[in-house]
Amino acid sequence: MRTRIIVWIVIFASISSYAQQDAQFTQYMYNTISVNPAYAGSRGAMSIFGLYRTQWIGLDGAPETSSFSLNTPLNNTNLGLGVSLLSDKIGPTNETGLSVDLSYTVPTSETFKLSFGIKGTANLFNLDIDKLNPEDQGDPQFQGLNSKISPNIGVGVYWHSDKAYVGLSIPNFIETNRYSDNDVAIYKDKINYYFIAGYVIDIDPSIKFKPALLTKMVKGAPLQVDLSGNFMFNDKFVVGLAYRWSAAVSVLAGFQITDGLYIGYGYDHETTSLRRFNSGSHEIFLRFEFLNKYSRITSPRFF
């Protein structure tokens, strides 16, 4: 390809097809709403979540992701509502998605509930033309990529209790071409299929252990498998490790500052050939929940 933008798109689309497509998160167990709309309202309280991730530090044009969400049960109904805003920057491109999630929950036993969810999303895709080579900034091929809006829709199911969960979801059904050259898609948003699961084990009254799993399937890309194990001490401190199959090893930590406020941090060490060109990835998040005597979560969870 003759332009720097094509090189950037090919590089990051190749990385994306191998590792992410949708924005990826190391601490996925706290940000389930981003991949499964059935999660909305499942914590029993209004939950506000904010996350910032900077990936592959030191690699020019590497992804930066910001995520903000609010989800809550709707009083005296089986419905849950969620609103999410996601910004994903890669090289000269920036994609912002605004999503609305609606869930419906039915009890399946004394401890488990089954939730069904639907997600509607509007994506805004931008190309920063100023980052192109000067001779390419006037190329009409790139003009139509600025402020391009595309809709999408997704669904999910989520079976859960205070101790365990299993979920299946497709956040986006519509595939979108972001750039084409001679009618061939260079960068394309593909359908991502998710399976998530987790279980909390009470080791003793002050220590809990939770293994968790996220798998992501994308046509034309290897299966992504994320495995994690976290320990919670005295319902306050969380430490753990995670492994993204053939991609990264991560260290996780968190602290329950108050009953409603939780902070978490994750660091990824790359295990692919990209480790020669970056010093890892960092991820930090805050979760705040409006709790009262009616909605208080009596058993602190990892999800």
Confidence of residue 178 (pLDDT cuts 50, 70, 90): low
Note the pLDDT of residue 298.
Answer: 46
Q: Looking at the predicted structure, is the pLDDT value of residue 38 above 70?
A: yes
Which pLDDT value is given to residue 41? 94
Residue 247: how many CA atoms within 13 Å on its side-chain side?
Answer: 24
Amino acid at 147: S
Bridge partners of residue 41, in order along the sequence: none
pLDDT of residue 282: 97
The Cα–Cα gap between 242 and 213 comes to 10
What is the DSSP code string of 71-86?
A: EEEPTTSSEEEEEEEE
In the predicted structure, residue 257 carries a pLDDT above the cut 70:
yes
Band of the pLDDT at 275, cuts 50, 70, 90? confident
pLDDT exceeds 50 at position 2: no
Q: Are 152 and 101 in contact (CB under 8 A)?
A: no
Is 152 within 8 Å of 172 (Cβ atoms)? yes
187 band by pLDDT with thresholds 50, 70 and 90: low
Residues 20 and 57: their CA atoms lie apart, in Å, by 17
In the structure, what pLDDT confidence band is assigned to residue 6 with cuts at 50, 70 and 90? very low
Q: Is the pTM of this model over 0.75?
A: yes
Amino acid 93: pLDDT? 83
Kindly report, residue by residue over 224-250, the tens digit of the pLDDT. Answer: 999 999 999 999 999 999 999 989 999
Amino acid at 118: I
**Long-range interactions of 204-207: CB distance < 8 A, separation 24+:** 206/233, 206/234, 207/231, 207/232, 207/233
Q: Is it the case that residue 211 has pLDDT exceeding 90?
A: yes
Q: Is residue 265 pLDDT above 60, yes or no?
A: yes
Is residue 98's pLDDT more than 70?
A: yes
